Structure 1
């Protein structure tokens, strides 16, 4: 009888902890706060979910379940988000122990001339947090996408074209040494022989068009099929 009571108490504590964990106390810019509140209202993540975690590139993909042909795929991207914001809102995701997480992070960490190694380490720290909080979830780490500085719109990323593949190199090396799948989207979207995003894949040099998403979709479908 004593053992049964202990099991019930442990179960209630775990349930309470999970429910509390879904509230994000971190407050950032207005769109971040709005999206976090929306995610809390919607819920919907289960042990069968495949979570797309990322920034504007992920959010702008909109209905990833339709793109990938899998009803369990959930979009958890936030325009302008970085590794700090994503780490803070893991509590909406990891307590549910989802089936898989596809992570794209890092481009918004490159502002203010942040050194490549620092950006890579920030992404790696996020990866480690995910692995620690939900070790049985299959984690897929997507490379940073290339940019095209031609139109000069994104001044905070000025001069970072060649830093992106270096950042990817560090992240990839970490993933390979820790048995984490690294998905190379970067090489699929650059002009041959350069590190520059192909012009037909973006209207502003950073965010991708439907042609870019088609490339992304095709790469992810290879992995979705094996889940």
Structure 2
């Protein structure tokens, strides 16, 4: 039997409804729908979503000489890159592997870092994360908590000989699924820390923010339909910046 009150308490604590993309209308009595309950049960059974890429990782061939593998690691902004825009290929001709999962926070990404990054034996990793922590997708996260998770991912990568690119969080003036959280100043503060930390530990800082800010801490409409996720024009700005940062990291 489904313990609906327990599930509803879990939603309040973990914010799984928005994190799982399950923010559709509930039943008239305020209870979650059957589809929402099934999605929540699935999310709770595999919180870091280790199953998402397990089969893909098992069939991924080893890197080839002279063609450095790079893992792009993140949330929905990475997940959608090269998948949802006119069938475009993710960095054609490159051994660049997309390991983004929509809705994820840095805590979830840290849990799956060994499986989805280290075990793929990349030369470098591009980490783009933090906006979902600020949104509270898996509960409230302090700046220190976000920073600790990013530090841990960086340290794991460096301990395994993987060059690290730390990407700035993209601008956002609001979150459609969690309105009213005023993320813009929090994103600016996190990016300031990311830049400083990258310099401190010898990682490469990738500044998407400056190229995409509308001047008020948000994404301009020409680059995003919802103010959070880039459209094709947004990814067209990000791609050369990412490539430049990857090459700089590999040259270190």
Shift of 1:142: 0.6
**TM-score, length basis structure 1:** 0.75
Deviation of 1:175 (Å): 0.8
In structure 2, list runs of 5 or more residues that go unmatched. 1-44
Q: Pick the structure with more helix per residue.
A: 1
Which residue of the partner structure matches residue 76 of structure 2?
A: 56
Q: Distance in 2 between matches of 1:109 and 1:74?
A: 23
Q: Which stretches of structure 1, 4 residues or longer, exceed 6 Å deviation after superposition?
A: none
Matches within 5 A, 1:76-91: 76-91=99-114
SS of 2:188's equivalent in the other structure is helix
Deviations 1:145-198 (A, max 9, x none): 11132xx62316721121101011112111101111010111111113x21221
- RMSD in angstroms over aligned alpha carbons? 2.6
Q: Is the 8 A contact 1:67 1:217 kept in 2?
A: no
Distance, in Å, in 1 between the alignment partners of 2:169 and 2:192 is 10
Cα offset for 1:36? 3.0
What corresponds to 2:13 in structure 1? Answer: none
Shift of 1:107: 1.3
| Residue 114, structure 1, aligned to residue 141, structure 2 | yes
Alignment length (residue pairs)? 195
1:94-152 deviations in whole A, cap 9, x for unaligned?
A: 134311111111112221443333322322222222222x1x22211111111132xx6
Unpaired runs of 5+ residues, structure 1, are 1-25
Q: Note if contact 2:130-2:146 (Cα within 8 Å) is conserved in structure 1.
A: yes
Q: Normalising by structure 2, report the TM-score.
A: 0.68
Matched with 1:5 is none
